[in-house]
Amino acid sequence: GQSNQGTNSIAIGTRAGQGTQSTGCIAIGDSAGQTQQNQGAIAIGVNAGGANQGTGAISIGYQAGQTNQGTYNIAIGYQSGSSSLSVASNSIAIGIQAGQSNQNFNSIAIGFQAGQVSQNQRALAIGRSAGQYYQGDSAVALGRDAGGTAQWSGAIAIGLAAGSSNQGTNAISIGYNAGQYSQDQLSIAIGQLAGGVNQGLGSVAIGFIAGNGTQGQQSVAIGYLSGQISQSSAATAIGVNSGLNQQGFYGCAFGAQAGQYNQQAFGTAIGPQAGYQSQGQNSVAIGRAAFNNQGQNSVAIGNFSGNTNQGQYAISIGSEAGASNQGQFSVAIGSQAGQITQGQNAVAIGYFAGQTLQGTNSIAIGYQAGYYTQKTNSIAIGYQAGNTNQGEYSIAMGYNAGYTNQGINSIAIGNSAGVSYQGNQSVAIGNFSGQNTQGAYSVAIGYSAGSETQGDYCIAIGNGAAPNGQHTNTIVLNAAGGALNTAGSSRFYVKPVRNATANFLLEYATASGEISYGSKTFVIDHPTKENHHLIHACLEGPEAGVYYRGETTLKFDRKSDKYVSTVTLPEYVVKLAKEFTVHVNPVIEFENEDFEFTQVVSSKVKDGKFKVYSNNSCKVHWLVFGKRFDIQVEVHKDEVQVKGQGPYKWI
């Protein structure tokens, strides 16, 4: 109190209150309040409040508030608030070197070296070394080393070493080592080691070690170890271990271990272990799905769907759909659809559809359609259609159509069409058509057509056409209502055929396979002109008929006293024709000029026989005509349609 000590002031100790101690002040200790201690100030301790202690200020401890302690400031502890801004006021520094240098107004520093250097206005630092070096305006640091170095304005760090180095503006870190190094502005880190290193702008990390290593800006990691290592910008990881390592830009992982390893940009994984490892960019995994290596732009929805090695642009929806090695651009919808090794560009829709080894470009729609080993470019639509070993380029449509071992390039359409062992390049259309063991290159169209063991190169068309064991190389056209079966190979069956009044005979060309009618001709090699054919036309008449011819020798019959011969026609003739006429004439050898004129007559045909009589022994040529049926000879032009061209036309 040596010079200008104010009223009601106390100065105790060497140089205490030495120069200009104002009214109501207390200075206790060597050099305490030594120079310009202002009104109501208290300085206790060596050099406490030593120079320019502000009005109402309190400094307790060695060098506490030593220089320029502001108005109403409090400094308690060794060198606490020892060098403050002359304009700062209303600050509190409690603890060794707390608020030691440049503590600004309305700030609080409590603890060893808390707010030690450049604590800005309205800042709060509580704990050893909390906010130690440059704590920004309105920043909060609670806990040992919290906000320790370069905590910027508005930042909050709560917990041991939370936000301890370079915590950005308005960032929040709560928990042991949360946001510890270089937490960017507007970021949030809550939990032990959350956002620990290089947490990006506006990011959120909540949970033990969440977003711990280099979390990108605007990303979110919530849950134990979520987004732990190198979470990219705008990524979201929610759940234990979600997005744990290398989560890509705009990736989303929701659920325990979702997108855990290497989730690529724009990937979405929702559910436990969804997109667990190497989920491709733009991919979606929902449910416990796409566990490993999901390709880019693919979708997996359902437990274990697209679980392993799902190809790019593939879609799997349903439990275990496309579960293993689903090819690129393929689709599997339904529980276990396309489950194992679905080929690229394949489609499987329905429970168990295309379940195992579905070929490239194949389609299976329906329960167990294309279930096992559907070959490439095949189509199976319907309940168990193409169920087992459907051949390449085959089509099976309908209940159980092409069920097992359908051949290459075959078609089966209809309920149980081509059910078992349909041959290569065969066609079965209609319920139960070509049902069992249809031969290669065969066609069966109609209900039960070629149903059982249709041979190779066969055609069966119509309801009940050759239902029981059609022979090879046969054709059956059936419209009769009942079954029409074959009796041998290489034959043609048609039923019914109309019994018309106007009838024409059909001709069949064995070389070309053409059936036609018109003038009946035969063609042979010309016997004398090597480069010509010989063509003969058949006789024509107003009826359909047959003829038989031959030669007989007349012998003397004692009973009739005449020369007689009995001619027997083939046994079928009486069933084939009627109204027989007989023509006979005697013949001689060409060289014989010595002969007698002979009279010859014949009987009518009876029971397939006729007799020839003569007055001399001789040889006789005979010719028998029989009528099969009449034809309509004269028809009105308006009642018929003439077909064909040239002289040989038909109706």
Residue-wise pLDDT for 581-602, tens only, equals 999 999 988 777 777 788 999 9
Please say if the pLDDT value at position 174 is more than 80: yes
Task: Calculate mean pLDDT across residues 569-574.
Answer: 88
Q: How confident is the model at residue 250 (pLDDT cuts 50, 70, 90)?
A: very high
Task: Calculate mean pLDDT across residues 376-385.
Answer: 98
Residue-wise pLDDT for 48-85, tens only, equals 989 999 999 999 999 998 999 889 999 999 998 887 66
Please say if the pLDDT value at position 177 is more than 50: yes
* Three-state DSSP state, 637: helix
- Give the whole-number percent of the chain exceeding pLDDT 90: 78
The answer to whether 92 touches 74, Cβ cutoff 8 Å, is: yes
Task: Calculate mean pLDDT across residues 524-528.
Answer: 69
**What whole-number distance in Å separates Cα of residue 418 and Cα of residue 374?**
15
Q: How confident is the model at residue 276 (pLDDT cuts 50, 70, 90)?
A: very high
Residue-wise pLDDT for 217-247, tens only, equals 999 999 999 999 999 999 999 999 999 999 9
Cβ atoms within 10 Å of 535's Cβ, excluding its own = 10
Q: How confident is the model at residue 506 (pLDDT cuts 50, 70, 90)?
A: low
Predicted confidence at residue 573, as pLDDT, reads 86
Please say if the pLDDT value at position 517 is more than 60: no
Task: Calculate mean pLDDT across residues 394-407.
Answer: 98
135-to-87, 115, 176, 190, 192 alpha-carbon distances in Å: 18, 7, 19, 20, 22
Q: How confident is the model at residue 516 (pLDDT cuts 50, 70, 90)?
A: low
Parse the chain into domains and list their residue ranges.
543-630
Considering only residues 285 and 644, tell me which one the structure prediction assigns the higher pLDDT: 285
The answer to whether 117 touches 102, Cβ cutoff 8 Å, is: yes
User: Which residue reads 């969440």 in tokens?
Assistant: 210
Considering only residues 630 and 395, tell me which one the structure prediction assigns the higher pLDDT: 395
Please say if the pLDDT value at position 502 is more than 50: no
Predicted confidence at residue 536, as pLDDT, reads 55
The answer to whether 131 touches 125, Cβ cutoff 8 Å, is: yes
Please say if the pLDDT value at position 471 is more than 50: yes
- Per DSSP, the residues of 543-558 read EEEEEEEEEEE-EEET
Cβ atoms within 10 Å of 265's Cβ, excluding its own = 18
Predicted confidence at residue 538, as pLDDT, reads 61
**What whole-number distance in Å separates Cα of residue 605 and Cα of residue 563?**
18
Predicted confidence at residue 650, as pLDDT, reads 63
Burial call 34-60: b when 16+ CB within 10 Å, e when fewer = bbbbbbbbbbbbbbbbbbbbbbbbbbb
User: Which residue reads 């045909």 in tokens?
Assistant: 605
Task: Calculate mean pLDDT across residues 29-41.
Answer: 94
Residue 264 has φ and ψ, to the nearest 5°, of -85, 175
Number of C-alpha atoms within 13 angstroms, CB side, residue 502? 12
Token duo for residue 367: 């329960």
Predicted confidence at residue 137, as pLDDT, reads 96
Task: Calculate mean pLDDT across residues 172-187.
Answer: 96
Predicted confidence at residue 373, as pLDDT, reads 98
Please say if the pLDDT value at position 605 is more than 80: yes
Predicted confidence at residue 408, as pLDDT, reads 98
Average pLDDT for the chain: 91
Residue-wise pLDDT for 88-125, tens only, equals 789 999 999 998 899 899 999 999 999 999 999 999 99
The answer to whether 379 touches 349, Cβ cutoff 8 Å, is: no
User: Which residue reads 């059909």 in tokens?
Assistant: 506
